[in-house]
Each structure stands twice: as structure tokens, then as C-alpha cells.
Amino acid sequence: MSNQQIPILDHIVILVSHKTLLGISKYIEGQFVLAPGGNHADGLTTNKLILLSDGVYLEFIAFFDDIDPERRRNHRWGNEKEDTIIDWAFTLRSESDFAAVQQRFHGAETDVSYTDPIAGARTKPDGTVLKWAVCVPKDGQGKNLPGSLPFWCLDRTPRTNRVPYEVEPNLTQHPNGVQGISSVSVHVPDGQIVNFKGAYDAIFNGPWNYEVPSSSTAGEHGISLSGGDASVRLVFNGVKPGTVELFPGLVFDIEILNSS
């Protein structure tokens, strides 16, 4: 695989209620520094972020309480469980590099495919407009597959505007010492393991290892797939070992930071 097509871990999506998002500081106090997010262009959701020094970020996203319930149900995340990781995203150095990834799904041993890029946008509190395109995984019946496979978030405005981890490094200095994401574990129903394995093989075209935006080599940077209740789990890396609990039951391990 060319370097341009190696997946870069972009961000992790955690769904919360709008009330929880407004009070998110109390959940992460003493653990993480919070970065501002903004409102999405569809008028349905808003977010706040935790930026990590490896360039990946956690996105806390919430639906506004006063939106049309039918519009929420029709959103690809509208029926997901709150206070859990519901999705995660890869990116690439250029949107044009995604065509090669998409091409590998033709003839792959899976019924999964990705949509063509779909435009998205968000306005930051300072008025900066961010633009990107997303490519979403769907099964053979056209059903969305949030979390079981990553979606792709491909920037159309500079990523540094969306993820200012380098220009505002103070936002990445977390009290718990977390600096990045070491690994991602994906759990899918036992009967779907072979199908999803074929999809991951098509994504990576080789070992299931991702890069991070900062080019850091600290951590495993690997994806694993196993059977069980559908879920996504993370392992952080940082300067001190331990665990992080963002919400009751949403617990992350922290590995000691080391570079290969």
C-alpha cells in the first residue's frame, strides 16, 4: 500500500445527551482539558472535543433537544446508545486517495461498501467554518454500520482548523497524562466476523495498523476484531498507567507511552 493510503486515525465519537454535553466539564474534570467544538451544518447536533497530542481527538456529540424526532431517527447516529462510543473515523492525506481504498472493495470478500464522499460542515464558536466529506460504510442492504467499521472524514478545509492540537498545544496537556490512542478493539456479532474481516482487509490491504496525524510511533496503533456484543473499545497511551472512566461503565486503560 502506498503511504498516501495508510489509514490515519482521526477521531472517536461518543454520543451524549445535550444536557450532558452542556455539563461535560464535570465528567472530565481532573482528567482531561476540554476544547470547544461547535454546531453542525444540519442543525441537528453540536459537539465538544478532547484533543490528544498524537493528533487524534475524542468528540462528544449531542442532538439538540428541540429537533424533529423523525429527523433524529433518520440520522445515522440517531438511534445509538448515549454515553457510549458509537463510531470512529479514519482520514487520509488527501480526499483523492480514498478512490484507491474504495476500489479495493470491488471483489473483496465482504458485502460491505463505502458511500462516495458526502459533504459536511461545522461552524466553530469563533465563526470559522470547517468543511469535510464523510464516506460511510453500508452493508449489502444499504444499512448503516456505525462503529463496526470506521467512517472516513476527509478534510476540505485545513485539518489544523478542525483539530488545532499543534497550534494550541495547551489543549492537549491532560492531567491524567494521556497523550494518544494506542489501539482500537472492535466487537461485532459472532456471525458477522468473517464479513467484517473481509472489509478490514480491504481497508488496510495489509497489516491492520493505522498511523496518527502527528506521525508519533508511540503505542500499538493496531485494530483488532472479535465477536460479542457490538461495541468499540480503546486503549490510551500516556506517561502514567491507570484507567480513565468518562461515564459509568465507559472505562479506558492507559498504557505507558513508548515509541517503536
Alpha helices in 125-239 (DSSP H): 159-162, 193-204
Identify the pLDDT of residue 257.
75
Alpha helices in the chain (DSSP H): 18-22, 24-28, 69-74, 98-104, 159-162, 193-204
Number of structural domains the chain divides into? 1
Q: How far apart are CA 41 and CA 132, in angstroms?
A: 11
**In terms of Cα–Cα distance, which of 241, 253, 234 is closest to 57?**
234
Q: What angle do CA 25, 246, 121 make, to 5 degrees?
A: 65
Identify the pLDDT of residue 3.
58
Tell me the β-bridge partners of 123: 39, 129
Q: How far apart are CA 181 and CA 174, in angstroms?
A: 14
Q: How far apart are CA 149 and CA 157, in angstroms?
A: 25
Going residue by residue through the chain, which has 260 residues, state the pLDDT in tens, using 9 for 90 and above.
555 579 999 999 999 999 999 999 988 999 999 998 889 988 999 999 999 999 999 999 999 999 999 999 999 999 999 999 999 999 999 999 999 999 999 989 999 999 999 999 988 888 999 999 999 999 988 898 999 999 999 999 999 999 999 999 999 999 999 999 999 999 999 999 999 999 999 999 999 999 999 999 999 999 999 998 889 999 999 998 999 999 888 999 999 877 54
Classify residue 132 as left (phi > 0), alpha (psi -120 to 50) or beta: beta
Identify the pLDDT of residue 221.
97
Identify the pLDDT of residue 259.
56
> Domain of 27?
3-256
**In terms of Cα–Cα distance, which of 56, 63, 58, 76 is closest to 14?**
58
The CATH number of residue 232's host domain is 3.10.180.10
